[in-house]
Amino acid sequence: QQPVQSPQAVILREGEDAVINCSSSKALYSVHWYRQKHGEAPVFLMILLKGGEQKGHDKISASFNEKKQQSSLYLTASQLSYSGTYFCGTQYSGAGSYQLTFGKGTKLSVIP
């Protein structure tokens, strides 16, 4: 079952913050976050396992709310290099193969 991402697109000026959400209607085992630049491969950012932990990677961090089956990606003090499409991928509890299902993506554009 495909997770739902919001917003679909966002435009930021350098230095501004953004939040991207990823929601599931099924119980989640984990959430992955990837960034894909135009014409390039998706690049792994971080993985969050159930337990409500928050992770950080430079000025990009994410949280996992197990009660709401939702994850949020936080980008602070955005840089031009943050531009790209962000995908969340979800793995579900009880799925033997732990298939990673991606959302439709959130296109982030950072302008000077």
Partner 1 sequence: EAGVAQSPRYKIIEKRQSVAFWCNPISGHATLYWYQQILGQGPKLLIQFQNNGVVDDSQLPKDRFSAERLKGVDSTLKIQPAKLEDSAVYLCASSSAPRGGKDYGYTFGSGTRLTVV
- Give me the least distance between CB of 4 and partner 1, in Å please: 11
101 binds partner 1 (CB under 8 A): yes
Q: How many residues bind partner 1 (CB under 8 A)?
A: 26
In order of 6, 23, 41, the CA distances from 63 in angstroms are 15, 12, 24
Which listed range, 9-17, 56-64, 74-82, 84-92, lies at the site for partner 1 (CB under 8 A)?
A: 84-92
Q: CB of residue 90 vs partner 1: minimum separation in angstroms?
A: 11
Q: Give the count of beta carbons closer than 10 Å to the beta carbon of residue 103.
A: 21
How is residue 73 written in tokens? Answer: 């990606």
Question: Is residue 40 at the binding interface for partner 1, with CB under 8 A as the rule?
Answer: yes
When asked if residue 102 is in the footprint of partner 1 (CB under 8 A), the reply is yes
Q: Give the C-alpha distances (Å, rounded to integers) separating 86 from 12, 24, 94, 111.
A: 14, 16, 26, 17
Query: For the residues of 50-88, what is the DSSP string, one character each?
Result: TTT-EEEETTEEEEEETTTTEEEEEE-S--GGG-EEEEE
Q: Considering the complex, state which of residue 34 and residue 82 has its C-beta at the smaller distance from partner 1.
A: 34
Interaction site with partner 1 (CB under 8 A): 2, 29-30, 32, 34, 40-44, 46-47, 49, 87, 89, 91, 96-105
